[in-house]
A and B are shown apart, each in its own frame.
Chain A
Amino acid sequence: MRLLKGFPILALAVVLLGIVGFSVAQQSAGLLMLWSALVVISWYITEGPRGKSLPRWTSNVLVLAITINVLVEFFQPQSQVLGVLGRFVVWLIVIKLYEHKAAKDYGQLLAMSLVLMLIGSIRPDSLVFAVVLFFYAGLGIYVLLLFQLFASHERTNAARLKSIPRQYNLLPSLQPILSPGIGLHFRTLVCGIGIVGLALSSFLFIIFPRGIGERSFGKFYRDSDNNIAGYTDEVNLITGNRITDSRRAVMNLTLRDAQGSPFKQESPLRLKGAVLDTYKEGGRWFSSHGSLSRIATKADSEFTPLGEFEAAISVTQKIEMLSANKTIFSMAYPVAISTPKQRSIDLIRQTQIMTVRDGQYLRRYSVKVQLKPTDATLMNLADNQAPLPVLLPFDSLDPRVREKAINLLQEAGLDTSPQNSAADRWLFNRKAAKILTKHFQDGNYHYTTDLSNITLITSDGRTVDPTIQFLFNTKRGHCEYFASALAALCSSVDIPVRLAIGYLVMEYDDSSQRYVVRESNAHAWVEVQTGLHRWETFDPTPPRVINNLHGSDATWADQFRWLLSTFEAQWDFGFVSYDQQSQSQLIKALDDRWSNRLQSVINSLKEWAAAINRAFYLGPAGYIWMGTVGLALVIAILALIKLMRRSIKIRTTLRLSHLRGSEYQSMLRQLGFYLDMLQVLEKAKRRKPSWQPPLQHAAKLEVEHPLAAKTMRKIIELFYAARYGKQALDRDELKNAHLLVQSLATSLDLKC
């Protein structure tokens, strides 16, 4: 009964874990604290000393109110469907916890907590959620099994009480029927089921077909649902999915000069992951796909050149990724790359952007970069291909953009008339970009990540482009807004410009001599064309803000976060990024490994046999001898196992475990015939029940088989003499006993 008494609190723990899991997935610490407090208080109120519960009508009213609230929330334009659904379930759980709970209610609570975890799982994967999920699964299995007993007990008692006639006042026993050791048996069974379930689920996880039916019905969540993403290869100004305060480490970066010495760069490091050259109204930046070159890297970390370059002035950046990403980051123009294993890489020649092919991920890689390459090197890297056209329609979106840009340039004294030569044009681009960049850093625009009160709909119902809104009205935004606005101004005066996204890194760990890149370092800036293949970086975000955001020292929590980051890296690379390719690679590796291992074992055995043969000078016949010895050894081992099993059986059947030493050995040797007799009876389907004395069983047998009963009595007499009469049976008597057993088998029509 103690087992069943513990069920309500364990069920509450499971429900609480479900809520924690959902809150972790939603990354909402406030709601987590609120809900947890409500759940804990519910226990005190309903199960505490007073034991009060919510009346049914009150809970119905509350459920109705929450349903209306959910419906209102659901039809709001920016609503997160999963979040709304999950919150609805959580509130239902909380209300139910305050009600009087029967077995059925506990079942509903457990089911709702499971639904909550499933909703949480739909969102992008996080290690913390996975940890909560793991504990939830473990405790959930225990509680689910316990629930079966609890519910059956409640239902049986209810049915038993209900069946009592009105006039009958005596209560029947409501205690459950159980045998001793229930706690141990239950826990053992739960452990067994848990381990088997875990192993089976892992196996199923590995073999589930992947890559089929992906996005058939679209995503079930919007990118905006994902508040923390760090790096993505596109920009959406409205959702702002890249902007985060998360201090999660994304990668570690070591810089080495041409001589191989680690060094720290004085200026902030910009790790570029993508360049976006297409803008669509509504604040979305895309990358137009240029011509792809496939590069196969060499194994064993040997550098594969992307073109001809000056090795003497190149810098090597060594990156250790802590989250799975297909993008290869580089701080300048990449000229060579190396990976620990052979990999296929896609390179866009015009932008020098690299990604890993075939859905694979790189954990470690090194890129050689050139900070100030020559034009010849750049041309060689671009494979003489013309730069990609830039499609930025800002001028058509609002004519004020061009006016503003020209005004700013003219105010700065720059001639905006068309340039005659290419050199003049590149110079103009550089100067103009510098002037326009300065405009954003003069204090007219403010950096903020809180865009909740910025509306993009005017009083006449028109939707305004977010860049235009930032440029002329709100003048508040984050780095993407600054970069977009600068790109808008530049493009309006025909300066080729594109958006670069990646990380801005300033945190350098002197002890390990490496940069630590965090999700909060995600950044966007602008690249302006200042040569045929040369793009120069301009960052309109105020430097003060950059220093504040990215230059902050590591906090005390960051000192320990590296541990979590390591686990997260394992989680990302081992679990989250497991896909079709990983699956086929794993199967191939397993196949190869097992066949190789088997082959190596066979080879070892062959070598071992040959060595023995040589050592003992056995010659060609030696293998026959060894085979014979090996066979004898196997037979001996099998015989030993059989003997041991028989000894154990005699000990348990005849209850000899309390005997020790020679007495025990003597009994083992002598009483085997009695075990044989029991086995003969069992084979003849005349099994002797353990509670029945053997002579009584013989009397029962006498009705059908008088001869067998007579033989059995003789065997029993011998057994009693040896077991309880302390009379050691001699060889003849033992032989006689075995003959009697054979005779018993014959009289029971059994083959000996």
Chain B
Amino acid sequence: MKRRYHTSIPGLLYLGLIGLTAFTAVNNQNNVLFWILGLLLSGLIVSSIVSGMMIRSIRIRRLLPAHGIVGEPMIVRYEVTNRSRFLPIFNIHIKERNVNEPSGFNNMMDPISAWVMHVGPNETVHGEAILWPRRRGKAVFGSIRIWTTFPLGVFRKSIKIPLPQQALVYPQLYELKPGVLEAVTPQGLLGATVSRHMGSGDDYYGMREFRHGDSMRQVAWKRSAAMDQLVCIERTTPAPPKVRVVVNLTTPTDKLTVGSDELHSPHELEEAAISLAASIICAADLSGFEIGLKLPGTKLPSILVRRNVWHRAKMLSALASIDLKQPRTKFSATSQIESEQIAQIIIHPDRVVTSIGGSMAWHLSARQLDTLTLRTIGWDAAQLTAHDSVAKTNYKKDTIKSEVPA
């Protein structure tokens, strides 16, 4: 932890005022000015002591959310504790320091400082900073700087506290157009079916003896009359449709086929493919599908077909942690994909390669993102204009998004 004093413009003005007062007081030998000079100097001393004591008695902890999503605010909380028994803390600013690496949070979002107005002696409060992620990935947080100008604003006393942590930012999610999911998900043999387990469905599964607590509605009266004892009908468990989303990342970014007149860069197409996959996963999960994920071309393992909240988070995390700069691996599990009795949605960044997936697989291209989706969920990171850094990212998707029907 490094403590530092910084001068600020008001502080320099204050020092200038002290110099001017000292000069005038000495020249005029005016006692009122001497007293004012004493007051200004004591303000300087007291200010530095009080701010130093305040900073020294702070204990802070960063409380990161489980994840962030591009297009939605990511709230980072700071637990600020005042360890002093007597001295309250006022006007504490908390600022995340930039991390000098590609996955540093500052490359993904603009840091906004948090502010805590007051922490009483021996008390704890939670400050919060709202971050606006611009792209998915692993956001690495390094140290934070806490500073205060309290009490007089003459000096800025700061302290640097290392708090290494990281959080995942999920890809931008889109709202699929009505009917898209129904169109690409399987019907018939590959669609909704029943499982071989009893459950609460509608289809007949079998019969068994009546047990205490069974509903009278479950009693098979005719059969009971024939058997001279109460028997109940058991129903099957409905099995939701199963979908596997495959994002074809086998082709390196620089070898993707992109026309010279196209607005998208290869990298943007890959990101769009990932976003489309995430959007389909979320929509399918909401519709009650069981979903799996394969990321051919990456070292990330396949995710089995399941359905629950944690499973969805696992898939989104996998999509978030794809590093497109890593060398691509060869995909050799084509046979496995073909052999499975589930529907497949294969998303390609540029052109459709039908060699991946079976004959029943749906092949989508990242270029279809606009035609398949209505709008972004949250704000569109591509259209972000409030940040200066948007110009640097040079997104060209404004034109694309404007074509999406409202």
Contacts and interface: CB of A to CB of B under 8 A. Distances in A.
Contacts of B226: none
A335 interface: no
A649 B35 CA distance: 43
B27 A202 contact: no
Contact of B112 (A160, A219, A578): A160
A178 interface: yes
Given A121-B30, A189-B151, A215-B27, A201 B38 contact: yes
B130 A118 contact: no
B126 A177 contact: yes
B352 to A, nearest CB: 32
A156 B113 contact: yes
Interface stretch (A28-36, A166-174, A224-232, A408-416): A166-174
A122 B33 contact: yes
Interface stretch (A37-45, A192-200, A337-345): A192-200
A196 B42 contact: yes
B386 A148 contact: no
Nearest to B43: A197
Interface stretch (B115-123, B309-317, B358-366): B115-123
Given A148-B153, A179-B125, A216-B27, A118 B21 contact: yes
Interface in B31-54: 31-39, 41-43, 45-46, 50
> Interface SS of chain B: helix, strand, loop or mixed?
mixed
A416 B39 CA distance: 67
Given A148-B90, A204-B37, A167 B383 contact: yes
Interface in B145-159: 149-153
Contacts of A156: 113, 115
Interface residues of A, number: 71
A204 B42 contact: yes
B73 A168 contact: yes
Contacts of A198: 39, 42
B91 A148 contact: yes
B91 A152 contact: yes
Interface string A184-214: 0110110001001110111111001011111
B386 A165 contact: yes
B130 A193 contact: no
Contacts of A168: 73, 378-379
A111 B118 CA distance: 25
A114 B37 CA distance: 12
A216 B24 CA distance: 10
Interface stretch (A129-137, A672-680, A743-751): A129-137
B374 to A, nearest CB: 14
Contacts, number: 195
Nearest to B375: A167
Contacts of B130: 160, 163, 172
A578 to B, nearest CB: 6
Contacts of B39: 137, 197-198, 201
B188 to A, nearest CB: 40
Contacts of A178: 116-119, 125
A217 interface: yes
A232 B166 CA distance: 77
Nearest to A125: B32
> Interface SS of chain A: helix, strand, loop or mixed?
helix
B42 A201 contact: yes
A182 B29 contact: no
B27 A213 contact: yes
Contacts of A200: 38, 41-42, 45-46
Given A152-B117, A179-B119, A111 B13 contact: yes
A608 interface: no
A424 to B, nearest CB: 52
B113 A214 contact: no
B46 A578 contact: no
B73 A172 contact: yes
Contacts of A141: 43
A214 B27 contact: yes
Given A163-B132, A172-B73, A220-B27, A179 B113 contact: no
Contacts of A180: 120, 123
Contacts of B13: 111
Nearest to A133: B32
A159 B387 CA distance: 11
Nearest to A157: B115
B384 interface: yes
Contacts of A147: 153
B38 A203 contact: yes
B110 interface: yes
B63 interface: no
Contacts of A177: 114-118, 125-128
Interface string A573-584: 001101100000
Interface in B89-133: 90-91, 93, 110, 112-121, 123-128, 130, 132
Contacts of A179: 118-120, 123-125
B65 to A, nearest CB: 14
A198 B93 CA distance: 29
B106 to A, nearest CB: 14
Nearest to A126: B32
Nearest to B123: A179
Given A125-B30, A165-B384, A205-B38, A114 B120 contact: no
A208 B21 CA distance: 13
Nearest to B378: A168
B353 interface: no
Contacts of A176: 115, 117-118
B240 interface: no
A164 interface: yes
Contacts of B339: none
26 contacts: A122-B24, A122-B30, A147-B153, A148-B151, A148-B153, A153-B117, A160-B130, A163-B110, A163-B132, A166-B379, A166-B384, A177-B127, A179-B120, A179-B125, A182-B118, A185-B120, A193-B151, A198-B42, A201-B35, A204-B42, A205-B31, A205-B38, A213-B26, A214-B26, A216-B26, A576-B31
Interface of A: 107, 111, 114-115, 117-118, 121-122, 124-125, 129-130, 133, 137, 141, 144-145, 147-149, 151-153, 156, 159-160, 162-168, 172, 176-182, 185-186, 188-189, 193, 196-198, 200-205, 208, 210-220, 575-576, 578-579
Given A185-B120, A198-B42, A208-B38, 20 more contacts: A117-B36, A118-B24, A121-B36, A122-B28, A122-B33, A137-B39, A145-B151, A149-B150, A153-B115, A163-B132, A172-B130, A177-B125, A179-B118, A179-B119, A197-B43, A197-B46, A204-B42, A210-B34, A214-B27, A220-B27
State the 3 A-B residue pairs at the shortest beta-carbon distance, nearest first.
A204-B38, A200-B42, A201-B38
